[in-house]
Amino acid sequence: MVVTIFVDRNPKDLLASLFAWHDSTRFLPRVEWDHFFDSHLKGHTEYGSYPEFTRAWYEYKDEPWFYWTRYEDLKKDPRSSIKKIAEFLNRDLTAKQLDEVVHVTSFEYMKKNNESIKGRDFILRPKGVWQRKGAVGGWKNLFTVAQNEIFEKNYNERMKRLGIEHMKYKF
């Protein structure tokens, strides 16, 4: 059976990460933050607006082939999160296997080994990075106070309108 593991992420961090990705890749245009922020609110960035994208995937939440998790949970407790994913996949992992999966899926490991990514130089601009920081809360270094207020108002209204208000992130 084909499965989908959906990793949800704080929409503010997701936006900050997507903005950095624009700056790193050759195939996406570089754009100023203020313009990018405004475009995202209008749903004119990759994947449209976060609430609509999330709502589309939420339709599958009860399907047996679909697993929903959050990036913040993976960062906070990778061992427990990976164990739950393994259980969803009906895989029994030994303690040693679980340790190995935790190790090779850590942000630090992937960032250290990003040089091995096939086609890296074709995709990335000079000095571009495949993985940037992998942190939770990085949006705070990018959003202005006004942008934060605008984002939250827009986000809350859309989540309510789409009927998925119960899924809102607590910022």
Instruction: Note the pLDDT tens digit of each residue in 7-46.
Output: 999 999 999 988 888 777 777 777 899 999 999 998 888 7
pLDDT band for position 161 (50/70/90)?
very high
Predicted local distance difference test score (pLDDT) of residue 105: 92
Amino acid identity, residue 97?
Answer: Q
Model pTM score: 0.83
- How many structural domains comprise the chain? 1
What does the DSSP 8-state code read for residue 138?
G
- Tell me how far apart the alpha carbons of residues 158 and 49 are, in angstroms, rounded to a whole number: 9
Long-range contacts of 80-88 (CB under 8 A, 24+ apart): 85/5, 88/3, 88/5
In angstroms, what CA-CA distances link 29 with 6, 23, 26, 36, 88? 26, 7, 7, 10, 38
Predicted local distance difference test score (pLDDT) of residue 4: 96
Q: Summarize pLDDT for 42-85 with one digit per residue, the tens.
A: 888 877 888 888 899 999 999 999 999 999 999 999 999 999 99
Which residues lie closer than 8 Å to 38 by C-beta, 6 or more apart? none
Residues in the chain: 171
Amino acid identity, residue 82?
Answer: I
On the question of pLDDT at 167 being above 90, the answer is no
- Tell me how far apart the alpha carbons of residues 59 and 161 are, in angstroms, rounded to a whole number: 15
C-beta of residue 140 within 8 angstroms of C-beta of residue 15: no
Q: Summarize pLDDT for 121-151 with one digit per residue, the tens.
A: 656 655 666 666 778 998 999 999 999 999 9
- E strands of the chain, at which residues? 4-8, 66-70
Domain residues for the domain of 56 are: 4-167
We report the CATH number of the domain holding residue 118 as 3.40.50.300
Instruction: Give the mean model confidence (pLDDT) for residues 92-98.
Output: 96
**To the nearest 10°, the Cα dihedral for 46, 48, 54, 60?**
-80
- Tell me how far apart the alpha carbons of residues 170 and 144 are, in angstroms, rounded to a whole number: 18
Q: Summarize pLDDT for 103-129 with one digit per residue, the tens.
A: 999 988 887 776 666 556 656 655 666
